[in-house]
Amino acid sequence: MFYLQRILPPMKSYCVLLPLLFILSGCLATPIKPSPHQMDEIRTMLVVPVEPPPLEVTPDPIESRFPVYNQFQYQSIPSSVYLKKTVYKNPGGVLIAGLLSKDDDMMPIANIHQTPASMEKIAGLEPTASLSENWTPTFTLAQEAVSQLNGDRIKAILSKHYYHLPMASGDRNANLDNWRSAIEQWYNLNISSVDYRRHGLEQVDAVLEVGIQTYRIFNAQTSLQVLIKLIDPNTRQVIGRISAKTLSVEDSPESLLNNEAERFKWLVADMGAHLVSEGLSDLGLPVKAPVDRLTP
The residue extents of the domains of the chain are 2-60+116-283
pLDDT of residue 225: 98
Cβ atoms of residues 209 and 48 within 8 Å: yes
Cβ-proximal residues to 231 (8 Å cutoff; 6+ apart), any chain: 192, 196, 206, 207, 208, 209, 237, 238, 239
Assign 20 a pLDDT band (cuts: 50, 70, 90): very low
pLDDT at position 103:
72
Average pLDDT of the chain is: 84
| Residues in Cβ contact with 113 at an 8 Å cutoff, skipping those fewer than 6 apart | 169, 172
pLDDT in tens, 93-105: 999 999 988 777 6
DSSP 121-143: -BTTEEEGGGGTTSB-HHHHHHH
| Continuous segment of H or E residues that includes residue 162 | strand 161-163
- Residue 227, helix vs strand vs coil: strand
pLDDT band of residue 27 (cuts 50, 70, 90) is confident
Tens of pLDDT, residue by residue over 197-217, are 876 667 899 999 999 999 999
pLDDT for res 10: 30
Instruction: Say which range, 13-17, 125-129, 226-230, 258-262, has the weakest mean pLDDT.
Output: 13-17
Cα–Cα distance for residue pair 294/296, rounded to 1 Å: 6
- Model confidence over 63-108: pLDDT tens digits? 777 766 566 554 555 566 678 899 999 999 999 999 988 777 667 7
Is the pTM above the cut of 0.85? yes
Tell me what pLDDT residue 117 has.
Answer: 62
Contact 86, 100 (CB under 8 A): yes
pLDDT score, position 149:
97
SS3 161: strand
pLDDT at 296 over 50: yes
Task: Name the percent of the chain lying above pLDDT 90.
Answer: 61
> Which of 22, 66, 34 has its CA nearest to residue 221?
22
